[in-house]
Amino acid sequence: MQDSATVVSPQLPKIAWGRGLYLHDTDGKVYLDGSSGPAVYCIGHGNAEVNEAIKAQLDRVAHGYRYSFTSDPLEELTEIITRRCAEGGGEGLERMVFVSGGSEAVESCLKIALQYQSARGAHTRHKFIARQRSWHGNTLGALSCSGFAARREPFEGSLLDVPLLSPVNSYRPPKGVAAEDVAQWCADELEREILRQGPERIAAFIFEPVVGAAGGCVPAPPGYAAKVREICDRYEVVMIADEVMCGSGRCGTWRALQHDGVVPDVMSVAKGLAAGYMPLGAAVYHRRIGEVIEAAHGAVSTGHTFTGHTAACAAGVAVQRIVEREKLVEKVAAEGPLLHRLLGEALEGVEAVGDIRGRGFFQAVELVADRETKEPFPAELQVHLRVRQAALDRGLICYPVGGNVDGRRGDHVILAPPYNVTEAELAEITGRLGEAVRAVVAEVSG
């Protein structure tokens, strides 16, 4: 997600073609994709095997409407996701609805939680709880759960009433809370809010295991997710993990929450699932949720025309086969620390670097005007957008995030390279970003 004003701009270059980590525009300029676009293109661009799989599916049939047919790609992708979840301790995450992207996946997760509560007779549980500085998508339900003020503002009056808890961020702990107490404090805050609202009114808690587009790769501190799991169990609140950005292997485990040893009730995935070769997302839910819904209502009620789109599922299968065969998630786990180190080295001595953080191939730098006080740069400087431009000038694509910091804009830049990046390319990506950041900091400080 980027500032709406900058999404469609006449100055944007026109995309022509891409291979591997490189994108080419129609003027012949070449860009090294250091962020997989918006953390999507996890096996790079122009992969012939995936293209062939999609073409072969199109030659058979593009789409068999889900309410008339199942299909081989849909069944195989279901099997792959079920197996990948089970291998990482998430046995039972085996029911799923395939949709066209992240927002639809989140929307489906929210509705599955509501339907589950209704199916088990908890008819007053209509409310969601979410967190500030989070991003769950642009549809009204997902936006209602998103703590991203600038994106909410024009629609505020139409959004659901969703209490937004403090961001879970050890670099910027809630006021008066020590960094080492963030996990406990934030979990306690969730429990307090459930009790304040009345547990009988709460359907679900939704959160990103590693915050992406609204905060810049912020992993929750150790222990937080397990505490949330306990609280959700205690109050019969559905736990929804939004893994649209941080999942599908990006953080070095197939599920991001796998790192914490925690299994959600419901989980959204999208970006890396079909790696941008087709629009595809999924709402994945646990068998025990499915069984309750099926007993009461027959099936989940979240369908769309393109639910389970056959060619999109074929793309997902082809991508996931490559990710599995080439052990790319294991590669991300092994090389994440290298990306982190190279980023640190490239930014060595830059006073404006407040924090470098992330997990796997999901790393970000937060830039600040004052490292001591963590004071952000003035919003009007748009430092994150300047870095994006300076990076583009150097032929690098990175992902700028203008997150809301204590009511003001903050500046973060995400690197999320394709999983099949080489070590030399990692060095090139971080080196170019280092140059871009230095140039921008000199410009705004000078």
Sites of contact with ligand PLP (CB under 6 A): 1, 38, 101-103, 106, 135-138, 208, 212-213, 242, 244-245, 270
Q: Which is nearer to ligand PLP, 211 or 383 (CB)?
A: 211
Number of H helices, E strands in the chain: 14, 20
CB of 134 to ligand PLP, least distance (A): 7
Contact between residue 137 and residue 212 where contact means Cβ atoms under 8 Å apart: no
CB of 363 to ligand PLP, least distance (A): 15
Q: Which is nearer to ligand PLP, 33 or 242 (CB)?
A: 242
Distance CA 244, CA 288 (A): 22
CB of 211 to ligand PLP, least distance (A): 8
Distance CA 82, CA 96 (A): 9
Query: Which residues have C-beta within 8 Å of that of residue 175, sequence separation ≥ 6?
Result: none
Q: Which is nearer to ligand PLP, 36 or 103 (CB)?
A: 103
Distance CA 285, CA 76 (A): 17
368 secondary structure, DSSP code? -
What are the tokens at 145? 């759960």
Q: Which is nearer to ligand PLP, 203 or 414 (CB)?
A: 414
Q: Which is nearer to ligand PLP, 362 or 377 (CB)?
A: 362
Alpha helices in 16-136 (DSSP H): 36-39, 48-60, 72-87, 102-119
Distance CA 362, CA 93 (A): 24
CB of 158 to ligand PLP, least distance (A): 18
Query: Which residues have C-beta within 8 Å of that of residue 170, sequence separation ≥ 6?
Result: 179, 180, 182, 221
CB of 122 to ligand PLP, least distance (A): 26
Q: Which residue is nearest to ligand PLP (CB)?
A: 102
CB of 248 to ligand PLP, least distance (A): 12
Q: Which is nearer to ligand PLP, 208 or 425 (CB)?
A: 208
Q: Which is nearer to ligand PLP, 238 or 369 (CB)?
A: 238
Q: Which is nearer to ligand PLP, 242 or 265 (CB)?
A: 242
Contact between residue 343 and residue 356 where contact means Cβ atoms under 8 Å apart: yes
CB of 33 to ligand PLP, least distance (A): 16
Q: Is 2 exposed, middle or buried (0-12, 13-18, 19+ CB in 10 A)?
A: middle
Contact between residue 45 and residue 18 where contact means Cβ atoms under 8 Å apart: yes
Nearest to 110 by CA among 133, 85, 136: 136
Residue that has been written with the tokens 């930014």 in this structure? 347
What are the tokens at 416? 């999320």
Q: Where are the beta strands (DSSP E) in 272-422?
A: 281-286, 353-359, 362-367, 396-397, 399-401, 404-405, 408-409, 411-415
Q: Which is nearer to ligand PLP, 165 or 353 (CB)?
A: 165
305 secondary structure, DSSP code? T
CB of 214 to ligand PLP, least distance (A): 8
CB of 262 to ligand PLP, least distance (A): 17
End-to-end CA distance of the chain: 30
CB of 128 to ligand PLP, least distance (A): 14
Q: Which is nearer to ligand PLP, 159 or 350 (CB)?
A: 159
CB of 210 to ligand PLP, least distance (A): 9
Q: Which is nearer to ligand PLP, 245 or 263 (CB)?
A: 245
Contact between residue 356 and residue 340 where contact means Cβ atoms under 8 Å apart: yes
